Every structure is written in C-alpha cells, then in structure tokens.
Chain A
C-alpha cells in the first residue's frame, strides 16, 4: 500500500521533472528549422493553410519539452509561389544555419530547390508537390505521393465507382510542369485500366477563354473527362464546361485537392467533380489520428488565420508530419541546439535515408525514388458544403498500392 508520503514524493518528482525539462529547454539554444511558403500573392491561401500546420507542430513539440531540451524555432520565408525566390530563400535559410528546410511547396519550386539542397548538403522536405521524378536523394525528400502513384490508384477507384465509364478525354495544362506530367500519368493509367482515350485537349496557364477546349471535350462524346491542371486554371475550365452543360463526371488530379480556394469557389460547377486524395474532414474513415488532427487543426487555423470557411483540411497533416518526422530523427540522434549545424544536417539526412516507414498522423512508406507513398482514394466535391468527401465507403475502397519501380 502506498503511503501519503509516497504520493507526495511522486508528485514532487513529476513537478520537478517538468520544471527540469523546462529549465533545460530554456538553457539550451533553440534548434532552427526553416520553411518556405507563399505567404503573399495569389497563392497566399496555400501559405496560410500549411503554415498553420507547421505552427501547430512547433507548438506541440515545444509544449512537450522541445527536442532533447532545445526548443524548436521555425523561420518562415515567403517565396510568393515563385521558383526563383524559393531558390534564393533556400540559400538564405542554409546560410542562416537552419538544420533543415520544409518546403517550398510548389512542384516547380521543388524541382529547382532539390538539386541545390544536395549541392549545399542541407536536408529539404517537401510535403505538397505532385510531379513525379523530381526528388533527389539523399538530401531532398518528398513525403507527398506524386502522381505516378496517386493517379493509377485514384483512377482505379474512379473506374470502380463509375463502372459505366469506358471512353475518356484527357485535358490539362501543357505549359505547367505538374499539369503536363499528370496528363502523361493519366494516359498510362488509362491504358493499364482498359479505358479508351478518345481525345486529348490542351490549354495553357495563360488561357483565359476555355470555350474552344470545352467544345472539343463535348464533341468527343466521352463518358468522362480526366483533368490535370492547377486550381485557378482548372476552375476556369470547369466553369466553362458547366456553361456549355457538360454533364459527364470530371476527375481532376490532386492539384485541386490541395489548397483552400478551389473547393470554396467551384460552386455548382463541382456537382460531378472528383479528385484524388488521402484525407478528408469526415469521421470514422479508418484513421483516428487524422480525425484528432482535423479537430485540432480546424480550431487552431480558425483562430489564427483568415482562411475562408470551411477550411479544406486536404494534405495539411503531411506538413505537420514533416516537422514531427524531423523532430523524431533529431531526438533519436541526440541532437540539440548545441550540436553543430552541419552535424545536425547530416543526422537528419541519415535519418531520412534510413527511414522506410513513418507513422504519424499519416502512415507514409518511403520509396527508393525519395518520395512518400500513401494510398490515394477517390474524393468527390460536395458543392453545397464546400468540402471534399470520400466517394466510396471504407469497405469498398481499393487499398492495393500501385508502386512503380
């Protein structure tokens, strides 16, 4: 039987351990981590969305005593969704002594930054971009599954959800790298799944009049349309398709799932719209960790940002995971704020290289290409609630990974 003195001793020990952790965290210099986000300009919504996830992760790490007694200090730089700025800011972070850089978020910026991360020997983690083949081991890794797995997996579910679809048109932005890469992935996946591609329709980021493309799509008389382009471009295209009363299902790759603006603006043009993703704000979808994150994220982002409501949770949890992953590696490698920056960078690089699987909010499998894999699913736009929901119930979803060699 425990005496009252035992309880008091235990309580004192706990209080002491808590205060000791606090004192240690205060006495050691912070661990500096850099982030690159578009905080101003047309893509500022993306920055606000992902920055909230990063801040939430920093708060969680520091509330738990930091990393081996050092607090995390996050320095966010604004690249305005501009690849040249991303490169400059990446160099700035490296020269400022951060142990790793999270971002930049766009595929174009990531493609520009990944080689520089290797040249400057500073780890960089991307958790948003989609274009396949642009991560560069060992220093530049991406947690987000690229389109070479998302499109085949998602299109398989699209096929299952809409078995009447046999003939498709592929449309996309041929000028933008992620859009163009998505078009090719659609073509490969369609051939593999036995879908007949009856036509290809291309437009460009600069396009303002989508009516000729919409007419071409309609005249192809296909069962469905597969689209690959960034949110603002896709929005113009699907609005034109709605004007021309195109009433077939439209599948757009995850370029429209990410971000907050598209789903809030698509309106009735989204009534037959699908996308690809791995998380929604729905409950009981088989990932309790994400449900918990979703609740906390909405409360936090609702208070700290001016994002239009409802906030699209999309892949924000992956940004949260990226920082948690770095913190976990640093803890395991006994790195703190006193460790030399180059040593900390090498430790993170080695930790990432050794990582095969990661289980945080998301379960991520790391591929040899330096990209993460998370099973992609088909999501449908619910226009009236301005949100994405799973198109199929959990039991009917396809959970067979498609992992190209």
Chain B
C-alpha cells in the first residue's frame, strides 16, 4: 500500500506541476485532466497496439499532447479569467465524450493491457522535471513569466511576446500532464474515460493552490499532502470526505496563498 501511495503522490506531483507551469504565465487550466487522459490513452495505444516500449511511448504521447495543448491554447488563451476556466473545462468534457465514443480505444468499456510503470519511472521523472523547474525559477525566463503574469500589457510593451510564452507554457503543462497520465495508465493496467473527468482537473488545480503557486515546492507539497491525507484519515470511514473538505477550507482560509507562499528569487534578483 505504501508503494501505491508513493506512486500516486509522484503522479500527483507531476500533475500539480503541470498546472504550475501554466500558472507561471498567468493562465489557469482546468483541462489538465483531459491532457492526462490524452497521454494515458496515447501511451496505452502505443504500447498495447503497436508494441512500443514504455519510455518511447511516453515521449511520443507527451509530444503529441503538448502540440495538441499548444494548438488548443492559441484560441483558448484569447479569453481570460472565468471565461478561460470555462473554455478549459469544456476541453475536459469534450475529450471525455470523445474517448467514450471512440471504439478504437474501447469507448466506455476502456482500454487495458498496459503495464511496466514503476516508482523509479515516476520519481526519475519527478527529479528531472523538478530540476528543470528549479533552473527555470532561477532564470531570466522566470522573470519574464512573472512580468507577464503580473501585467501582460506592460510585459508586451516591454517587447515580450506574451501570447507565445503563454502558449509554450500551456503546451509544456499539457505534455507534463500527459506523461503523468501515461505512467498512471501503465500502473493501473486498465483505464476508462471516467477516470479523467472534470473532477480530476479540479483536484489538480487544488493541489497547486493548496500548496502555493509562487514556487515549485508549493504544488509538490500540496500534491503530497492531499494524496496522503485521505489515507491518513481512512479510519474516519463515512466522515472522511467531510473532514477532508473541512481541512482544505480551513487551511485556505488561514493561508490563502497556500502552504508555501514565498516567491522564488531569480539569480539576478539575488545580486546586490
């Protein structure tokens, strides 16, 4: 059971970071459950129907989903705020319905036969992505993204291609969610469209918000805490969802910027 918890904590860290990358540029995505589904199904089809090894299948699934995510972002990012939330939620619904009606991947019956994902795969990827985000957080690109997030018009006036950077972030977030989905599918051995409903997207955003979105450690902590908390309070039986919900509400009231609210300073900012 501990191995399962560690595995899902790792998957959820990747998903929380997939939202964090998109949030870096000031956008908010409720479509990451859909990107996770796309990665899960694409990687599953590549390993089960085409016999590809797991890692190349994951790479192809992530690349395909990243490109699709970027292509969807181009029109979606014309909207902002609540409209962007509605558009990305719509993407999640569309992908779920599409998968339910696609006989090639099993429709509502689901797709099975995947295997091979281990803790090493997940935590290897967590380490790689974490390292990448750490370097990003200390780079000039982070400052540019901060500028776009704080005031997109000013950033554009300073010569930054805000839309391009937002699309890149959206695509990168989609690719990361796809990697998490691919690993999830190859651990669970069987997936169905209902595994990737809108609630998954909501949870993924919650991981990031709960931990704090100002640094890469916040989403990580949020994902681990919210993955393990329901297991720690399993003994509460039917009261578990109520206690889980109450903990989230209270913590967000007490710490509205998340558990780890500080901003990561870039190298330039650290210079005297």
Which residues of A pack against B, CB within 8 Å?
A: 39-41, 44, 78, 83-84, 87-88, 91-92, 95, 108, 111-112, 115-116, 119, 131, 174-177, 180-181
Please, could you name 28 A-B residue pairs with CB atoms under 8 Å apart, sorted by A? A40-B237, A40-B238, A40-B240, A78-B234, A78-B237, A83-B192, A84-B188, A84-B195, A88-B1, A91-B1, A91-B3, A92-B1, A108-B194, A111-B109, A111-B112, A111-B192, A112-B188, A112-B190, A115-B113, A115-B189, A116-B189, A119-B115, A119-B189, A131-B109, A174-B100, A175-B100, A175-B194, A181-B109
What separation, in Å, do the CA atoms of A84 and B110 have in the docked complex?
14
Complex contact B237–A87 (CB within 8 A): no
- Residue of A84, A87, A92, A180 touching B109 (CB-CB under 8 A): A180
Most B CB within 10 A of own CB, among A88, A91, A95: A88
Is B188's CB under 8 angstroms from A177's CB? no
Contact between B238 and A41 (Cβ–Cβ < 8 Å)? Answer: yes
- Contact among A41, A84, A119, A177 for B108, CB-based, below 8 A: A177
**Which residue of chain A is the closest to B107 with respect to CB atoms?**
A180
B4 at the interface (CB under 8 A from A): yes
Question: Are A177 and B115 in touch, CB under 8 angstroms?
Answer: no
- Given the interface pairs A40-B240, A88-B1, A111-B190, the reply to whether A174 lies near B112 with Cβ below 8 Å is no
Q: What CA separation (Å) do A371 and B1 show in the bound complex?
A: 29
Query: Which residues of chain B come closer than 8 Å to A131, judged between CB atoms?
Result: 109
Q: Can you name the residue of chain B whose Cβ is closest to the Cβ of A89?
A: B1
In the complex, what residues of B have CB within 8 A of residue A177's CB?
108-110, 192
Considering only residues 128-153 of chain B, those with a C-beta below 8 Å from chain A are: none
Q: Which of A78, A91, A115, A174 contacts B190 (CB 8 A)?
A: A115
Q: How far is the CB of B158 from chain A (nearest CB, A)?
A: 46
Instruction: Report chain A residues within 8 Å CB of B3.
Output: 91
Chain A contacts for B237, CB-based, 8 A: 39-40, 78
Q: How far is the CA of A44 from the CA of B3 in the complex (A)?
A: 27
Given contacts A41-B241, A176-B108, 18 further A-B contacts (CB under 8 A): A88-B4, A91-B4, A111-B110, A111-B112, A111-B190, A112-B190, A115-B112, A115-B113, A115-B189, A115-B190, A116-B189, A119-B189, A131-B109, A174-B100, A175-B108, A177-B109, A177-B110, A180-B108
Closest to B231 in A: A88
Task: Determine the chain A residues whose CB is within 8 A of the CB of B192 once the complex forms.
Answer: 83, 108, 111, 177
**Which of B4, B189, B195, B241 is close to A92, meaning CB atoms less than 8 Å apart?**
B4
- Using Cβ atoms and an 8 Å threshold, which residues of chain A touch B4? 88, 91-92
Q: Which residue of B lies closest to A181 (CB)?
A: B109
Quick one: closest A residue to B8, CB to CB? Answer: A88
Check A174–B108 contact: CB distance below 8 A. Answer: yes
Docked pose: A119 CA to B112 CA in angstroms: 13
Q: Which residue of B lies closest to A174 (CB)?
A: B108
Please tell me if the beta carbons of B195 and A83 are within 8 angstroms of each other in the complex: yes
CA distance A41 to B242 in the complex (A): 11
Q: Kindly report which residue of chain A lies nearest to residue B93, judged by CB atoms.
A: A206
Q: Please name the residue on chain A nearest to B96 by beta carbon.
A: A175
> Which 7 A-B residue pairings sit nearest by Cβ, starting from the closest?
A40-B238, A92-B1, A112-B190, A115-B189, A88-B4, A180-B108, A40-B237
**Residues of chain A with a CB closer than 8 A to B190's CB:** 111-112, 115
Q: How far is the CB of B115 from chain A (nearest CB, A)?
A: 7
Residues of chain B with a CB closer than 8 A to A41's CB: 238, 241
Interface 1/0 per residue, B1-30 and A, CB below 8 Å: 101100010000000000000000000000
Q: How many residues of B contact A (CB 8 A)?
A: 23
In the bound complex, how far is the Cα of B195 from the Cα of A83, in angstroms? 9
Which A residues lie within 8 Å of B113 (CB)?
Answer: 115
Name B192-237 residues within 8 Å CB distance of A: 192, 194-195, 234, 237
Q: Distance (Å) between the CB of B249 and the closest chain A CB?
A: 20
Chain A residues lying within 8 Å of B241, measured Cβ to Cβ, are 41
| Docked pose: A176 CA to B241 CA in angstroms | 24
Verify B238–A95 contact, CB threshold 8 A.
Answer: no
Q: How far is the CA of A84 from the CA of B7 in the complex (A)?
A: 13
**Bound CA span A44–B107, Å:** 28
What is the CB-to-nearest-CB distance from B150 to chain A, in angstroms, rounded to a whole number?
38
- Name which of B8, B115, B190, B237 has the most chain A CB atoms within 10 A of its CB: B190
Determine the distance from Cα of A44 to Cα of B239 in the docked complex, in whole angstroms: 13
- How far apart sit A289 and B207, CA to CA, in the bound complex (Å)? 53
Residues of B within 8 A of A78 (CB): 234, 237
Cβ–Cβ < 8 Å partners of A91 in chain B: 1, 3-4
Q: Which residue of A lies closest to B115 (CB)?
A: A119
Closest A residue to B189 by CB, please name it: A115
CB-CB < 8 A to A112: which residues of B? Answer: 188-190
- Nearest residue in A to B114 (C-beta to C-beta)? A115
Write the chain B residue with the least CB distance to A118: B189
Write out the residue numbers on chain B whose beta carbons fall within 8 Å of the beta carbon of A84. 188, 195
Chain B stretch 98-116: residues in CB contact (< 8 A) with chain A: 100, 107-110, 112-113, 115
Within 8 Å CB of A119, what residues of B?
A: 115, 189
Q: How far is the CA of A388 from the CA of B241 in the complex (A)?
A: 34
Within 8 A of A (CB), among B52-107: 100, 107
Q: B109 to chain A: which residues have CB within 8 Å?
A: 111, 131, 177, 180-181
The residues of B that contact A181 with a CB separation of less than 8 Å are 109
User: Which partner residue on chain A sits nearest B240 by CB separation?
Assistant: A40
Q: For the complex formed, measure the closest distance between the CB of B244 and the CB atoms of chain A, giving whole angstroms.
A: 12
- Among B1, B100, B194, chain A packs the most CB atoms within 10 A around the CB of B1
Q: B115 to chain A: which residues have CB within 8 Å?
A: 119
Chain B 151-192, CB-CB to A under 8 Å as 1, else 0, gives 000000000000000000000000000000000000011101
**CB-nearest residue of chain B relative to A91?**
B4
B188–A87 touching, CB < 8 Å: yes
**Whole-angstrom CA separation of A180 from B107 in the bound complex:** 10
Closest chain-B Cβ to A257's Cβ sits at a distance in Å of 22
CB contacts (< 8 Å) of A108 on chain B: these are 192, 194
Q: Tell me which residues across on chain A come within 8 A of B1, comparing CB atoms.
A: 88, 91-92, 95
A131 to B3, CA, bound (A): 30
Q: Across the interface, which residues of A come within 8 angstroms of B194, CB to CB?
A: 108, 175
Task: Give B236's nearest chain A residue, CB to CB.
Answer: A40
Residues of A within 8 A of B188 (CB): 84, 87, 112
